[in-house]
Every structure is written in C-alpha cells, then in structure tokens.
Structure 1
C-alpha cells in the first residue's frame, strides 16, 4: 500500500505573451505561486508599478493574455494509484493543457481544481503542462455586452468586473491601482495516492456552564477502491499532548468519531483570555499501513450575534463564550495588489499589529479575496475575531445560471476550507451591494420571500445573498452567523442607525460632517468609517522618485491618491482644524493629526455607548492596511508603518479607558465666536469582567501657561462597572466668562496606585491655539541592547507628540498628548543605544 505523496510544482516554469509564439519568447518564472506582473519585473520587462507613474506604464499588461508552461516528469506511480493535478488558485480565465489536450477550463479565481491525469501520464518521460490565461479585462467587457438588459449599477472600477469571479479591486478602487493580474496565484502540485483524506472538519458543542465540550470529528475519504480494511484513527491534542484517541470505519466515504472533553480550555479573543487551540488529526490506515494524515487546529468556543429589541431599536453585538464583546477593530483589504507576494510572516506581522493596537476584530472586505490560510491561522493563534465578507463589492451582480453555479462552487470550496477557524464568527453576503440597490433605485421588496421572484427583478443579486450563500452556510457551517450584507439590517434602508450594521461615511464623504461629532452619527454596529492621511515620509520617498515632486499637491502624490475629490476633502478638514503648511513633512504630519483625532472621536464616543444597553456593539475603521504605497484611509501604511491614528485607537481600546469631552461648539456656524459656557462629561469604559475601584482626576490646564486655572476634580473609590461604562460627570459646566483662557481638560485614572489611563480634551479648533514654547523635554531613561526608554515631560500642554516610525523598531506609544505634572514614558524596542529617534508635535 503506497502512502499519499505530494509533489509541489513551484519551479521550472516559463511564461510569455500569448501573442508571441516564437520559441525565444519564453521567459523564466522565478517561483510559483506568482502573477504576471511579478514575473515581468523579475525579467526586466516591467518597472515597479508602485513607483511614480509606473502604474500607467503597466496598463498594457492588463490587456494581454499570458501563457505559462512547465515540463513534467512522470512521478513514480505505484500500482492501484491515481495521479491528480491540484490547483489551489488560477487567476482567472485559465485553459490547462497536458500534452496539447485540454484537461481543465476555469473562470473563477476563488475556486480550487483537481484533475485526474493518471492516464495522461501513463507514458514515462517528459510531459508538457501549459496554462493559457485569457485577458480578464476584455472577457469581462464581452460578457457585459452579452447582457445589455442587466442594470450594471456599481461603485468603483469598470462595471463589467461584476461578470467575472476575480478580485474586484484589481479593476481599481478608491485606494488602489488598476493592475489586472493573471497567473498561478496559489499552489499547484501533483498528488499520487490510492486513498486520501479529502477533508477534515468538526462540530463543537459547549455546555452553557463551560464544564464540558462535545467534539464530533468527520473526515471524507477519496479512494480508488474503498473496502472495509480502511480505518481512520482520530487524535485530539492540546499543546502537543494527546488527550483522546478514537478509531472509526468509513461509511459512505465518511468516518466520524465523538470526543467528550471535561473542563475544556476555551478559545478567547485577546484581552479576554487565551486563544487556546486544540489539534484534531486524522490518519487513514489500511491494515498496518499509514496511508495519509491531515491535521487542523480548532478552538472550543461559542459565538453569537445578539439581535434583540431595546430602547435604541434592535441590538447588534457579539457574544463569545457568554461574554459580551465590544468589537473595536478594522476593515482589511488585500495587503498587496500582487497577492502571491504576501507570505505567512507578513500576514502574521499584520495581525500582531492589530493585537498591539488592542483591536479585537478584523473585517475581510468583499472586494478582495478569501485570504490565505496563514491569515486566518494568525487570527486563531493571536485571538482576533474575523468578520468574513463573501467576495461581492459595490455592485448589482448578474445571475446567469452558469455564474450562479460558479458562485455556489466558490462558496462551498471556501467555507469548507475556512470553517474550522474559531476566529471566524460571521459571514456577510457582500459589501455595500444593498447601498448600490438603493442609489440606483433597484427593486427590493423585503416582504417578498420568493427567491424565484428575486431572480426576475432588476436586483437579481439578492438571490445570491439571501438564498444561495445562506444555504451553503447552513449546510457546511451552521453554527456560524450569516448576515446578508454589510451594511444591512432586516431589509431596512442601509443608513438606518437602529438596526444591523452601518457604514458611516458622512465624515469625509457625504455631508462631510465635523469629525468632533462622529459619535452622534453611529448605529448599532459601525462596520466602516474613516479619514484619509498621508503615509510616513519614508513611504512617500519610496514611490516619489524626484525631489521636485516632494511637495503636498504634486502630480505624483495626487496620482497615488485614488479617492474622488481627495484634494477638497483633505483641504477642508485641514483648514477647518489646523494651521496649514506647505512643506511636505509638516503637511504629512498634519493630515495624520486629523486622522488620529477623527478615529479617537469616533471610537471614544461609540465605546462609551457600549455601556448604554449595548447601543453600539462595535466599530471597525476603514481601513487597517494598504495594497500598495499610497495615500488612503489606512492607519498603517503598506510597509507596516503605523500612522498616529493607530496609537490613538489603541489608547481608546485600553481594557479600562478614561474619557473626557466638552460639548462640540461649531465655530464655523457661529463665525468663530467662542461659547459662553461649555458642558463637559467624564466617564470610564471597561471591558473587564469584574468590578474595579479606582481614582479619577480631572484638571483644567491653560494651553498658554500650563497652569491650573480652576480647582481640580478628584473622585476617590470610584466603582467601575464591569464590561460597561461608568459615568462620573454628566453635567459639568465651564463658564468662559470666568475661565477665559483656552484650556485642556486632562483626565487620569488610577488603579491600584498606578496610572491606568489618560485622556485630554482640547479646545477646538487647534488652529486658534498658540503652541509656542511648550517646554517639552524628551530624555533617555533605562536602556538595554535593543530597548530604550524615553521620559517625557512638559511645562505646557503638548498635542500629538509623534515619534519617528522606523522599520525594525516598535513603539509602546506615540501620538501622545502630554500635560504638565504628568510625565510619561515610551519604550522603544529594536533601537540601539547609539541611535536617536526624531519626534514631532503640533505647532513645533
């Protein structure tokens, strides 16, 4: 009995422009997986499309078809075995030939394929494997023309993209370039076996008291001749130690066993407990021979989305293992336009950054891709919850029968692939497709529950989101919550703040509201909101080639900002709030200050609302990351360099956070007249599960002198409610006829004698304040070979002290507000004793 063997086909590939049939046209491919843009760069035929205007010079690649080929050697094929050619991902219209015979035709980037090539490889020696990738751009346009009656309503990119099952952002988005990739984007291999385990999955039940768990484990067998001599041996392990073992005989190609686990170690999001993982392994045996073995990590947990009527409408929040979780986090776009360039280490660094930023949830956005296994494994390992969109974004998708069949197979494949990950707690049908339906006036009668009617309407995509996808989830992952779209709420208008989730874009887009009132614009779960900022100067230096272009409004900088109207919107938020600048370094910093303030105002207010009957169940900012070096809403740039907003969010998401805020005075409406009085509020938000006792202090400090202008307020022995909000002052008043100096409200929280949290509320707008002569001191404290401590003090309040971001170093904090009498420290990991670190603050 031969064991299962796998031969990864990563080397020995060549590629060419399909129109050039000359023998010398073939160029070597360094390694597969890859896409054509990577391979052209490796062969000196394409400049880096991320630099300067090179994206435009790469447009010719988008309109070509490409061929890849490899010489295969027939592997050793034991008697009674089959040989399968397995493709984990072909981008996108792929015709696969083996010795000039077509063995596969694929048109869906998100599917995997398996082809039996046993007969084709019977002849020993060399065989030619060739893959023709037809031009997805042109094919999409042809498909659109074939259905002129469909209403091709969409946001972003060529509407024809909706006819093709390819990552939609490849057509260009309001943060990304038009790079129409093609190629073998995921692993390809030859498998030789007489029998194999085709799948391994579990169904996990957890008792309400968490005292015991029940794990049912299943495997699906794929065998040439399946007889009663086959057995499957299942083992369950924790931290490398086997805790249970059972053996099963397959029945109808399925083997199943049950495990009862007393006192299970639960999987928790970080900050709530350990993300404990068990390993389930299945070994296929025939007699005494081990034929094939697979293993997966699983987590024991419950995950619910709580939707119940309350005084605010209908709730929408997550409950993990019986604990209500405020889901502060980010939306995720693909971390590169050239997807095979993202390795497991880079994925893990992104998720590690989320944990360092105290972010609980990541939303995999529907215009990208179902991510690599290593992305979800990092989320499992580090305790980050995943909201997973299906790959539909900003459009009214057509529903031809063959397209629906392809979508169904895509969904089945990916849900089967991902369903064991404890991090995945929600599947959503699409991104903003119901908003497209509203904006285009398409038919949507929520009361009509007949799916066949939906297919006949001018919004047929409803069938995908409310019939096809939920049926797949119910069949393959029934314990995972399914949400028809994002945003969506019980068929109501998508801007309804009382139900479901909300994309709040009336800051930046829409009515361009003041960011200071962000908390008043939220809904039950705010799954998108954002503010643009420039990346760090080091990132700009990467893609701006010439010194003459390094000014804020240069052509190349505008080219790297794909957002409509970005010039006006950035200018509006800068001029309303800050004294503007013309030198690039200061301008970059000012945009980052605005982004940090915007995110802080949103998160701080919405987290406070968590304590009000879960009024707000979570906030996922748009966006965590970039797919190329650019100017966007990302709070961490393409090179994993955090912007100041990253640190502002982390502070608000501290397990216990203090908040202080005076009421917003709209200086633009009052023609810059100051208020006569200002109300203010002081509170503490906690995500911990136990009551705490602490001390809260509020000081009133002059911006101009640093002196206290009135008596500080101190509350001793404050009882901080668990997993909620403790309101300390709700009706404070500042009389500006008495306290005439502009002043900050500086709040501190002590727990067990140590300062646990700070918050500073500033008079707005910053442009009216004098930041001269702050008396800031930054001095070195303790140091080791790779870790330095900086002590920070000031004589007058300092706004947004930002330390230089440098590759290979990690800051414990940045974008800090510093006030007199409250010295702070920052620990810098990866900085050597002889190295210095630059910093900047507002008005410097």
Structure 2
C-alpha cells in the first residue's frame, strides 16, 4: 500500500486500442502517446504518406471520427480527497468518457486538461476510459460557415485552420504535407492526492555586477497543507534553503545567492543548472514535492537609438554581453510528433550547437515544443525565440469562445515553459501582421481601445496586443514580449526597427543573393534559399515500384517540394549563378546545395559585418529559414529530415565561427566626363574581420591571389599586424583587385585571406571567388593530393577548387565544405573512425571544359 499522505501518479499508457467510429474491430495502438496515422501505419491500413505521392491516398483519415479506449486500475482511494485524470494533449476535438460518464469536451490541442473524477472512478477496480476524436477539418469548416462576415484570408493550408486550435502545419505548408492527425498525442496520467503543489515557479534578479542574485521561489498549492520548504542546489550540493507558511494557497521565499554560477549561451560560457525543489508539508509529513531546473542569468532585449543610423537597435544581451544571434528557425521535426524520441531532439539541438548557432526560433505554425526540446536547449546553451502558435492568417478573434480558449492556451504553455533559461523572448505570431498589410486589413496604431479592434476586419490584433500582452505581463514580466515576427517600425518591412523577414531573395522581388548587404535589417528572423536534400533521402521516399521517378524533375520529386513556383525559382537562381545539369541526380543535388551554401553564407558574412559594437548594432541577428524538415522533402532546410546536413550547414558554421574574415569586391565606376557614356571601372577588394570573442586580440593578415586557369600566384602580401576588437566587426584593408599579368579579368582572380595569431597559428581563413561562377573557367587540377592521416583527409591542389566536399556512406565530417587554393593544406576531420571507408572528393567543375 502506498503512503496515502503523499501524492501518487499513475501513467495510463498500456492497453490502448483504437478504431474508426463506423467500424467494430478494435486494434492495439502502435505506441503511447500516439496518433491515428501511426496506428494505421502499424496495421498497414494506410500506405506510408512520406513515400511516393501517398500523401494523396491518406486524406480520408482526417475526415473520419476516431475512437480510443483503455482500462486503468485505481488503488484504494479512500484516503485521498482527489482523484484527477490528466491529459497533457488531445488532438483536437475530443470527448472523454470514464465509466460511462462524459467528463470532458476539449477543442484545443495545446491545452493540457485536468478533470476531477473522484465521484465517477471505481477504486480497486477496472475503470473504462474512452475518447472520441471528431474530424478537426470538418468541424473547422462548420465553424467557418457560422462566421461568413469574417475575412478568412491566409497563406498556406485551408482557411478553416484559423478557427481551430490545432498545429497549423497539419493543414499543409509550403514545405510540408497535409496530414490531419488525431489522437492522444501527449501522456495521459492519473493522480491521487490530498494536497499538491500545482505550480512551482520563480523570478530571478541578478545584480548588474553579476556577483549576486536573488531567486524568489513561489509555489501555488492545492488542498490542505501548512508549509513549503524551498531548496536551491547545484550539482547535488545545497546552496540555499528557506521555509514558507502557506497563505491562501500560495507560498514564497527568497533565496539569495552570492557569486552565482551564471548560465550563458553556447560559446560564451558554461550552462550550470541549479535545482529548485519545493516540498509540501502538513504536520511534518511530506504530501508532495516538485522541482525545476534553474539557470541564473540576466537577459534583455535592447532597443535604443543608434549612433549614426535611423531607428533603433534590436539585440539580445545576456549577463551584460551583447550577443549576435546567428541561428535558425525550427519547425516540428515530424508530422507525427509522438514518434520523435528524446534522443532525436537532443541530436537536432546538438546539430544546432555544433554549427556555432546561438539561437533557435520556435516558429508559430507548429507546436509549443516538448519539454525535452527546451531541456536540451538549456543544457546546450541555445537561446530560444518562442512564438505563440499563430501563423500567416487572420484569426477570427470576434468569436468569444475562441478568445477564451486562446487565453487558457497561453496561460498553460507560458506556465509550462517559463522556468527555462533558454527562452529569452516570446512573440505573438508568425507573419500575421505581414498578411494584414498584404490584404489591406484595418490597423490603426493610434487606436488603443482593444474592444474596438474586435469590430474591425483584423480582430486578430486583440490576440497579440491584448490577450498575450496580459498573459506575459502577469506570468513572465521579465521576459520580453514582441507583438509578432516580423514586427516594428511603420510596417513589417521597416528595416530600422524590430525584426524583419527578408524574403526578397527567393520570394518577393527575387533579388540576387549577392545583394544581401543591401537587404539587411536590425534583426533578420527569417531568410532562406532552397536546396535538394541528400540523394539518399530522395531515394528513401521513392519506392521500388516508382524507381523510374528517380530524377530531379520527376513528378514525385516535384511532389516532395511544396513551395509555390519552386521549379522556376530554384532553376532561376541556379541559372543566374551556376553552369549545371539536372542529371545525374547526385550532381544536381550537389549544385543546388552549393548554391544554397553560397547564398546563405553571403547573408551571414555581410550581416555580421553590420555588428559593429556599442551604438552601431546595425544588424544583431540572422536566423535562417530553416534548420530542419518534418518529412523527406526539398525545402529551405539546411539539414534534411534524416538529420543529414546540407552543404549550407557547414558554410553557416564557418561563418558563425568566433572569428571570421569577410571580403567583398566593390565595382567602382567613374564617368570620364559629363558628356560621354564611357565609364572607367575598377574593382576594389574590401576586407574585414568579425569577432565574437570577448577580448581584443592581435593578428597577422596575409592575402594571396591566384589565377583560376593556371593556378599561378598573382598576389602575395603580408598586411602586417591587425587589431581584432572584441565582439564586433572591424574593417581592415582595401586594395585593388590583382591582375593576371597585364590582363584585367576579374573572373580569373581567386583571393585567399588568412589571419594568424602572433605565434603563427591560423585563426581564420576565407576564399573569395568571382561571381557568378557560371562565367568562371574552372580547371581540373593537374596535381590533386588526397591523403588519409589517421581519421582525417588532407587535400592539396595546384588549381583553385570551389565547393570541395567529401562523400562517404557511413561517416560524417566535422567540416565538409571548403574552397581550396594552391600552397595550403585543408584537413577534413571525421567524427568517427574512417577505417577502410571509401571516401570520394567532389568539387564544382562543370563538364563544359572537358569537351
């Protein structure tokens, strides 16, 4: 028998069955938690929707009603005042019946539900639990019909999604399939108690000097108890302890910490996590205990006037350190969330951390992520930008029941997430203000009357500027809340205030990516370029029966790219920059990935240049769209569904290193006189260094240039000592583009810049190529040396090589992209033993010069 003074938790995760409502046969579930697609797949009732074009064959699933049931035992409950059934997540329209009694109707996937079943439960006996899941698609359309006056405008998916609090990407997006899931997608569990800690939370104040902190620990208590003991520990060692009497169901104590071990973002320091524990007592007996991991840190968003530029800064400061937030956007890692295990979450976030990324933005069309996601971010030092779950639509906030549900959703999820030190900002939505502008919906920033917003054709404003403002102000007053992403200035395209989504490369005006320096903003929270996934990933989704579809422009491969106009946009950017062919497939995959790598690394390089120190934080962050995929697809992701990095991942990693060299060719034109059309042109090379280090260093700068055709060195200069100032970019030198003999041909000149420390160790290198590459007369090397030394591959060449990468079946490399010039050795280090693994070397070399 359990000690009936203490709360008891029982997981209800066994014996589950499911069926379609019109069927009679119950089948066992595939796992628990689960969803209907996973269960149907286990029983081979549907084809795998990730293969071929099978997505089209499973659309009926989302239009059916599904039933789930199980039985659970309840121990002797006579000593307990409460028996509560908990549902951490029901997807989405759910009716719950226990022992024949309807106990719950739920219509929000994001709200955990707690139901007191003390009066209906049978202690010491079997209890039946049945959940009916109605079609979210059909019920959403019926809700939509009830409000014909609302402007149901959106980007992506079916308009009915705006009325349904379900993961919006389930309705289809421009990178993901339409798969309308249903089921108990998060744990179901029972608790028996007399009193419990219903919430443990805290606020932290860190002194400006960082040498002390106070942790104000708080506990909400349900039931009869007298005292809470709060303990703060680090690595199992007690730091502070305090007790508090319970007053009105609430207890609080202040725990002062001298010389706290502070939590820092990755590469800026360590990530110590204290444990805050609360123990609930009644007459000396323990009734309940709860604990949270605590990161002591000082975090704020700084928006202040700039020294010599319009608008204001928008940067994150952690423990008094301004942080340039290079990182990426995160979408759910699968269409079927329950099958994403703990290890996969950690693997994904290790990819982020190992790629030198400081921040991940949890995008507003997915889910408030699983606890393990944020736990991993806390441990790895990754900052989290957390959107609320609204994306690309005009949500019908005139519906009072929807507003109530959204408020409950926001409260529940902020309470669940607010202890994580990784979360440094909450944002109200993704691109809903941009959609408002596109559709011409009413928005008067001078109108401060929230009730009147509900009477306009943009009632969703009430969600972002009233409901979410109130919730975050009350629950996370020390964490910055941003109305939306993008948001700031006169409109969402204002580059001088707040954040922007820079989609004028790929979308919008489809600018050349070489123009990213003219497309900057104070904080760029989205930008991107598509590329094919690994060829093995493409092969994985084309079945044996469809093997004749295994080429770049097949119907099946196009089906696995959901972006509107992707055929012409991807081809357009390739044609603008590369000489390429779509066959063989591996070659085409390579060139799309190389183009994506060049595109995105250009953005990071030139935007990082704008991080120029105090008062000159012209660009303070760049979050690429996107780090991951939810299925095997051609998309903007820099690592595909199977966690296989694309070339762009390595390019971004290199451009977010602690110290980088940047270089740009600037064409300067001078008209000979005011009457002539004749212009003298010269090419000037601008060179700068960007540092994330927190201390100044001295370095030696050396620059070489080579003729791409002959491999001859045409420039070799030691530029002497340079000062690398901490945590900013510094312009170093500029010089005229070297000539090939007496010929001025910029398309033949490749420049390599090296920064060495005073002992001669290389700190940074960068190789600058003429663009576009399609005009460059690349040559095969006549002397290419590839040496295997231990678990590394070393490469030397007598001709400049573009886009060198290694291909091996079962081995990954720490770095797997490099441009290589003569007179240097570039090393690729394997993550594990190479053994006798065959390793192929690939580099960009169009076939035209071989004919």
Instruction: Give the TM bin, normalised by the shorter chain.
Output: over 0.9
Q: Distance in 2 between matches of 1:79 and 1:331?
A: 49
- CA deviations on 1:427-465 (whole Å, 9 max, x unpaired) are 000000001100110001111111111111110111111
Q: Distance in 2 between matches of 1:167 and 1:675?
A: 58
Residue in 1 that maps onto 2:585? 584
Q: Distance in 2 between matches of 1:554 and 1:56?
A: 17
Residue in 1 that maps onto 2:777? 770
- CA deviations on 1:237-280 (whole Å, 9 max, x unpaired) are 11221111112221111111111111011110011111221111
The within-5 A match list for 1:462-473 is 462-473=461-472
2:756 to 735, 750, 753: 750
Q: Distance in 2 between matches of 1:831 and 1:541?
A: 26
Residue in 1 that maps onto 2:496? 498
Relative distance call for 1:282 and 1:686 in structure 2 (3 A) is same
Asked if 1 retains the 8 angstrom alpha-carbon contact of 2:685 and 2:734, the reply is: yes
Matched residue SS, 1:773: coil
Q: Distance in 2 between matches of 1:18 and 1:805?
A: 49
Q: Distance in 2 between matches of 1:218 and 1:515?
A: 50
Q: Distance in 2 between matches of 1:691 and 1:651?
A: 20
Matched residue SS, 2:177: coil
1:595 equivalent to 2:600? Answer no
Residue in 2 that maps onto 1:378? 376
- CA deviations on 1:608-662 (whole Å, 9 max, x unpaired) are 1111601001000000000000000000000011000000001111101111121
Matched residue SS, 1:294: strand
Q: Distance in 1 between matches of 2:697 and 2:239?
A: 38
Compute the displacement of 1:664 (Å). Answer: 6.7
The within-5 A match list for 1:698-713 is 698-710=703-715, 712-713=716-717
Compute the displacement of 1:36 (Å). Answer: 0.4
Compute the displacement of 1:691 (Å). Answer: 0.6
Residue in 2 that maps onto 1:606? 607
Asked if 1 retains the 8 angstrom alpha-carbon contact of 2:714 and 2:739, the reply is: no
Asked if 2 retains the 8 angstrom alpha-carbon contact of 1:679 and 1:734, the reply is: no
The within-5 A match list for 1:228-239 is 230-239=226-235
Residue in 1 that maps onto 2:194? 194
Compute the displacement of 1:562 (Å). Answer: 0.2
Compute the displacement of 1:124 (Å). Answer: 4.2
The within-5 A match list for 1:388-467 is 388-399=386-397, 400-467=399-466
Asked if 1 retains the 8 angstrom alpha-carbon contact of 2:80 and 2:192, the reply is: no
Q: Distance in 1 between matches of 2:344 and 2:667?
A: 41
2:824 to 822, 825, 828: 822
The within-5 A match list for 1:160-309 is 160-223=160-223, 226-227=224-225, 230-309=226-305
Residue in 2 that maps onto 1:645? 648
Compute the displacement of 1:732 (Å). Answer: 4.0
- CA deviations on 1:146-171 (whole Å, 9 max, x unpaired) are 00000111100111100000000000
Residue in 2 that maps onto 1:669? none
Residue in 2 that maps onto 1:656? 659
1:839 equivalent to 2:845? Answer no
Q: Distance in 1 between matches of 2:498 and 2:87?
A: 38
1:682 to 683, 687, 708: 687
Asked if 2 retains the 8 angstrom alpha-carbon contact of 1:561 and 1:630, the reply is: yes
Which sections of structure 2, spanning at least 5 residues, go unmatched? Answer: 670-677, 847-851
Which has the larger displacement, 738-747 or 359-368? 738-747
Asked if 2 retains the 8 angstrom alpha-carbon contact of 1:13 and 1:29, the reply is: yes
Compute the displacement of 1:493 (Å). Answer: 1.3
1:80 equivalent to 2:87? Answer no
Asked if 2 retains the 8 angstrom alpha-carbon contact of 1:678 and 1:734, the reply is: no
Compute the displacement of 1:398 (Å). Answer: 0.5
Q: Distance in 2 between matches of 1:657 and 1:406?
A: 48
Which sections of structure 1, spanning at least 5 residues, go unmatched? Answer: 667-672
Matched residue SS, 1:315: coil
Relative distance call for 1:776 and 1:218 in structure 2 (3 A) is farther
Compute the displacement of 1:131 (Å). Answer: 0.2
Relative distance call for 1:383 and 1:778 in structure 2 (3 A) is farther
Residue in 1 that maps onto 2:675? none
Q: Distance in 2 between matches of 1:564 and 1:778?
A: 44
Compute the displacement of 1:346 (Å). Answer: 0.7
Asked if 2 retains the 8 angstrom alpha-carbon contact of 1:804 and 1:838, the reply is: yes
Compute the displacement of 1:677 (Å). Answer: 2.3
Relative distance call for 1:499 and 1:77 in structure 2 (3 A) is same
Compute the displacement of 1:231 (Å). Answer: 2.1
Q: Distance in 2 between matches of 1:526 and 1:564?
A: 23
Asked if 1 retains the 8 angstrom alpha-carbon contact of 2:30 and 2:38, the reply is: no
Q: Distance in 1 between matches of 2:103 and 2:335?
A: 29
Compute the displacement of 1:839 (Å). Answer: 3.0
Residue in 1 that maps onto 2:727? 723
Residue in 2 that maps onto 1:333? 331
Asked if 1 retains the 8 angstrom alpha-carbon contact of 2:36 and 2:183, the reply is: yes
Compute the displacement of 1:734 (Å). Answer: 5.0
Residue in 2 that maps onto 1:147? 147
2:350 to 324, 334, 352: 352
Residue in 2 that maps onto 1:670? none
Which has the larger displacement, 41-50 or 437-446? 41-50
Relative distance call for 1:547 and 1:831 in structure 2 (3 A) is farther
Q: Distance in 1 between matches of 2:809 and 2:198?
A: 45
Q: Distance in 2 between matches of 1:168 and 1:664?
A: 46
Compute the displacement of 1:215 (Å). Answer: 0.6
Relative distance call for 1:674 and 1:290 in structure 2 (3 A) is farther
Matched residue SS, 1:547: helix
Matched residue SS, 2:569: helix
Asked if 2 retains the 8 angstrom alpha-carbon contact of 1:6 and 1:192, the reply is: yes
Q: TM-score, normalised by structure 1?
A: 0.95
Q: Distance in 1 between matches of 2:547 and 2:760?
A: 52
Q: Distance in 2 between matches of 1:772 and 1:62?
A: 55
- CA deviations on 1:687-731 (whole Å, 9 max, x unpaired) are 111110001111111111221123x23222211111111111246
Q: Distance in 1 between matches of 2:734 and 2:467?
A: 49
Asked if 2 retains the 8 angstrom alpha-carbon contact of 1:9 and 1:32, the reply is: no
Which has the larger displacement, 746-755 or 208-217? 746-755
Matched residue SS, 1:177: strand
- CA deviations on 1:201-246 (whole Å, 9 max, x unpaired) are 11100000011001110111122xx14xx32221111122111111
Q: Distance in 2 between matches of 1:495 and 1:430?
A: 16
The within-5 A match list for 1:107-122 is 107-122=107-122
Asked if 2 retains the 8 angstrom alpha-carbon contact of 1:678 and 1:735, the reply is: no
- CA deviations on 1:9-49 (whole Å, 9 max, x unpaired) are 111000000122x2xx2110132111100010111111111
Relative distance call for 1:408 and 1:674 in structure 2 (3 A) is farther
Compute the displacement of 1:674 (Å). Answer: 13
Q: Distance in 2 between matches of 1:738 and 1:801?
A: 28
Residue in 2 that maps onto 1:760? 767
